[in-house]
A = this chain, B = another copy of it.
Amino acid sequence: MARGFRKRIHQENTENSGFGASASGRFINKDGLPNVQRKGVNVFNRLSWYHTMLNLSSFRFISYLVIGYILINLVFAVIYYLIGVEHLTGIDKSNPLDEFIDVFFFSSQTFTTVGYGRIAPVGFMASLVATFEAFLGLLTFAIATGLFYGRFSRPRAYLRFSDIAVIAPFKDVTALMFRLAPYKNNALTDADVTLSTAIEITENEKTKTNFYRLETQLAKINTLALNWTIVHKIDENSPFYGFSEDDFRNINIEIIVHVRAFDEVFSNTVVQRSSYASREIVYGAKFTPMYYPNKEHQSTVLNLDKINEYEKVDLPVSAGE
């Protein structure tokens, strides 16, 4: 192990990460969420169903709505059927299945308030249930309206991070670099980045994790329209100072990234987090450019498919070794 590292491990943690000595495994998952499981309380109190609905994929969200719609209609169909089809006009009474199908459609016509009236309630109980089903239908769509709006108005950064970070030459020394780019037609300004690292170290046969803030070159940017390469220079102030290729491979490292920007359409601050583990760091590589002028030289083209493209390079011998 390099001398620089040995020296450093006697330093105090310089970061208040929010994770303690007995936390285990990756701290921040690749998608930016902390790798923590909650227990206790009961599951209903532990879930914010609104957060859950907002984080569902569009496919699952729509599926839940459709399934919910079918289930509610089945439940009400059973209720109307039990009350008796004689309390509804216009039912096809040829056989029980046709009766049930007709009350199911009556239920859906009530729940959606379409109310054609071909089937309509006449008795007291059927009318009463229909009264509440229509009310429930409207409240359900009120909630659905809120969920749709909550889902698509939720401010998000829409940043794509490079899958890997590289250790690349930088001026006289080396630097840890990765890059990110906005991949949607949103307009981000005033972006800044915060970088920290968790390094697992073994000392006197005890394993513990230290947290360090990592300095970055140009931690702020005015307009985040092209890609942005985050550069952490590995000099004597870096906890990676003196790390060899083997150190980067063998020591448990986690780079935690926190990007913040202002979205001009939402007029809101958006954040996105990600992390790089040891196995996602490529030693001796540099990224290749991913944007270039367009044909008429009147605009700049950003090719998002190139975000992970890099080429191998030789690194200068680290000053710390």
Contact = CB atoms under 8 A, between A and B. Distances in A.
Interface of A: 15-20, 22-28, 32-41, 45-52, 54-55, 65-66, 69, 73, 89, 92, 101, 105, 108-110, 112-118, 120-122, 124, 127-128, 130-131, 134-135, 137-139, 141-146, 148-150, 152-156, 158, 160, 183-187, 189, 191, 194, 196, 218, 220-226, 228, 256, 258, 262, 264-271, 273, 289, 291-294, 296-307
Contacts of A22: 289, 291-293, 300
Given A39-B304, A226-B23, A142 B145 contact: yes
B142 A152 contact: no
A79 B182 CA distance: 41
A264 B154 CA distance: 10
Nearest to A65: B139
A18 B226 contact: yes
A125 to B, nearest CB: 11
The 5 closest A-B pairs by CB, nearest first: A24-B293, A40-B305, A146-B149, A34-B225, A40-B304
Nearest to A38: B302
Contacts of A146: 145, 148-149, 152-153
A264 B15 CA distance: 20
A17 B180 CA distance: 16
5 contacts: A18-B221, A55-B265, A109-B114, A112-B134, A149-B149
B184 A48 contact: yes
A303 B39 CA distance: 5
A304 B39 CA distance: 6
A162 to B, nearest CB: 13
B271 A37 contact: no
Given A25-B300, A134-B114, A305-B39, A220 B16 contact: yes
Contacts of A39: 301-305
Contacts of A112: 113, 131, 134-135, 137-138
A111 to B, nearest CB: 8
A152 B148 CA distance: 12
A267 B262 contact: no
A300 B228 CA distance: 32
Contacts of A40: 302-307
A49 B152 CA distance: 9
Contact of A117 (B120, B196, B296): B120
Given A115-B117, A118-B120, 14 more contacts: A18-B222, A24-B297, A34-B223, A36-B300, A37-B302, A40-B306, A46-B304, A48-B184, A52-B185, A73-B131, A108-B131, A138-B144, A139-B141, A154-B265
Nearest to A158: B48
Given A22-B289, A36-B300, A221-B18, A108 B135 contact: yes
Given A222-B258, A298-B25, A46 B293 contact: no
A33 B117 contact: no
B115 A101 contact: no
